[in-house]
Structure 1
């Protein structure tokens, strides 16, 4: 394997070789023989199916399995290509994958202050995690190794943008029709022993929103979740997808397309606020500040002023509307803060007791954040048996794979962030922001599966953009009659 550091562009069609796709056949001149229609799927069809058909996979109950299913043809294509490029810092990611597998040896060990693990469900959960981590890795490598002809970066931006629109629509459905739920068709095909497992049961009983008691003294609040399993997943995915949508439909768009992009961004405000997702709100603020800093460092004062005005006007409009009261009430009611603190402390304690391999997965906490004698009841539905590792990707890794797994996860994204820090194109800035949000959200939300998939695909997109920038620098040096040198020249914006 090779790393992304020595990525080499493909300047033109290559002769067909073993393990590589043949060059495109010559096209007939105008007025010549008609082109033949082919039923052969395009090379990048698994990526298109992953994005465009995701609402269908969600409705069928397949969101936790579709990545593994589509990873099979992806892996087959990678195998046929022979040499496979890998992103920077991939060694950290390989260690994490190995630790996810090896941590299965600890599934029968009891973590401090947790219930003794029982039942076959823990092995099912561990197997699904191994499968999904592997599948998402294959997805990242697959997108990275596709050529610009096979999957143009603009098309990938369109796929991200499509999912952003779907997520906004899902937010409205969840907010306006919170009681809508149904049983996924796949549920009727599963053996009863598997369908009754809590993890599988939750996937098979599809809900468009989670109705929770978030604001004290108020009725239960419907929080959008569609087309994902949980409202927190909806929130972190909304942030990541909206970033790529803005790149494809605002920053790189013109005319009516850009106007439509602004309208979609404006439409996203209602479900974003209505989700009561403080992590999403903070993430968007972090994103705005990061982009402002990048623009200031590049001397893009006009863009910076425009961004500040748009953000200020949007903030005033939201605060002056009924949504402003909702934000104030949610900010004043941190109903989950005590629970998160208890679970975070428990995850650190578990990692300290098993720092190398962890315990293979989440563990049920004895009692609750209030008392070890308190359990779930009709009057206290949020009491008892909280799961260590359920309050964020970082805490999940600490419990499941110990300090080694948690450090490798963060090190991979930090390494990529540092490696692509000089990419000042829209893709470079947006991709770096996604990596920052991946590091931020790990303290609040779990990443498997969709969020981690979008994060790893973003890494692949950054690496491919870096490949193009290297090619442009080399062309500039050759045009100037300079010998090859590692010195960077000013980049051209991606169009």
Structure 2
């Protein structure tokens, strides 16, 4: 509300190409509420829609706060959040059974926290502990401050490139050294998640920057980055993470299960192609809510193919418009929406992860259309 009030007092809003598709998406998504099955389902719809609306406000506010909110502040803000996530991940590898206590959790009535989902959101576990049938020992996968390990992995994908980009904006040597140390330490919780989608996302960001850096003729940086990528792959193999991922697949066929859910979700979306169903719905035949196994599927099922199309126009359009991201910092920032688009098919984004991805796009869009420097 504070951001909205400040923009209203300003009396004039500047827009840049690439922002309007998001608000067109918001308008269409609002119409999907007519297909909600019950008044109770409106609660979840309002929560999800409120998050999308907040993301739009954040982008619009940043575009118009050129005098007070610099790209450096956004980059450093994301860096602080990333460092917190990494430190919590490191703690999770040592005390996986602990839970975080939050002020919101302390204020919520017990009637609400008795719900397992609400409890996990209010008191997130340090690790998501899974033991599929037949597995000799449980898989302890870092998750804090999120309720699920996959969410931790998505956050790692969209924030780690920003942390690397921040290295070019830090003036103090000890700060740069601390970020480098955290980058190295981040491999410990990242590999402990055994998260295939996270590895794909990181590989996309790294490979993207590697190719674009080579195309710009910076061969020394390509050599350094290639060496880092090789070391990370060696750590993946030497740590046994690759073997653990394959082992988890042996006891839990998540790939086959997802393909079945995707098929059912697409078939259901075809029956309500325009406005969708407003929210994910439980499919009694497979025991899973359709529209929960990836952001693309969530949008398709909840807001129809038009809603999905508007989101794709926003994201793809933003990537294309900011293709000439300036400098090495800009290139790492540009890898964020590229990697996010690559994993959106099989992982969902919560409000924090979506905020990071869209704010990075807003930073790049403002830099292009207002000639702003990123560092």
TM-score above 0.5, yes or no = yes
**Aligned mate of 1:455, from 349, 353, 357:** 357
The answer for the alignment partner of 1:294 in structure 2 is: 212
The answer for the alignment partner of 2:278 in structure 1 is: 360
Q: How much is the aligned-residue C-alpha RMSD, in angstroms?
A: 2.4
- Scaled by the length of structure 2, the TM-score of the pair is 0.91
The answer for the alignment partner of 1:445 in structure 2 is: 347
1:399-441: CA deviation from partner (whole Å, max 9, x where unpaired): 1011111111111010011111112323431232111122122
Structure 1 residues 425 and 283, CA gap change in structure 2 (3 angstroms): same
Distance (whole Å) between structure 1 residues aligned to residue 115 and residue 243 of structure 2: 40
SS, match of residue 140 in structure 2: strand
Distance (whole Å) between structure 2 residues aligned to residue 201 and residue 227 of structure 1: 13
The answer for the alignment partner of 1:141 in structure 2 is: 60
**Aligned pair count?**
375
1:143-194: CA deviation from partner (whole Å, max 9, x where unpaired): 22112x4122222211111111111111112222111125644345446665
Distance (whole Å) between structure 2 residues aligned to residue 254 and residue 299 of structure 1: 28
1:227-255: CA deviation from partner (whole Å, max 9, x where unpaired): 12321111111111111111112576674
Unmatched runs of 5 consecutive residues or more in structure 2: none
Unmatched runs of 5 consecutive residues or more in structure 1: 1-71, 109-117, 369-384, 472-492
**Aligned mate of 1:78, from 7, 11, 14:** 7
- Scaled by the length of structure 1, the TM-score of the pair is 0.70
Q: Which has the higher helix share?
A: 2
Distance (whole Å) between structure 2 residues aligned to residue 75 and residue 450 of structure 1: 19
Structure 1 residues 130 and 306, CA gap change in structure 2 (3 angstroms): same
Structure 1 residues 365 and 299, CA gap change in structure 2 (3 angstroms): same
Q: State how 1:170-319 maps to structure 2 within 5 Å.
A: 170-181=88-99, 184-187=102-105, 189-190=107-108, 195=113, 199-213=117-131, 217-249=135-167, 255-319=173-237
The structure whose Rg is larger is 1
Distance (whole Å) between structure 1 residues aligned to residue 251 and residue 122 of structure 2: 32
SS, match of residue 465 in structure 1: helix
Structure 1 residues 208 and 194, CA gap change in structure 2 (3 angstroms): same
Distance (whole Å) between structure 2 residues aligned to residue 135 and residue 73 of structure 1: 12
**Alignment pair present for 1:407 and 2:309:** yes
CA contact (8 A) 1:250 1:262 kept: no
SS, match of residue 124 in structure 2: strand
Structure 1 residues 422 and 187, CA gap change in structure 2 (3 angstroms): closer
The answer for the alignment partner of 1:465 in structure 2 is: 367
**Alignment pair present for 1:419 and 2:321:** yes
SS, match of residue 206 in structure 1: coil
Distance (whole Å) between structure 2 residues aligned to residue 227 and residue 206 of structure 1: 6
**Greater relative contact order, per chain length (Cα 8 Å cut-off, separation 6+):** 2
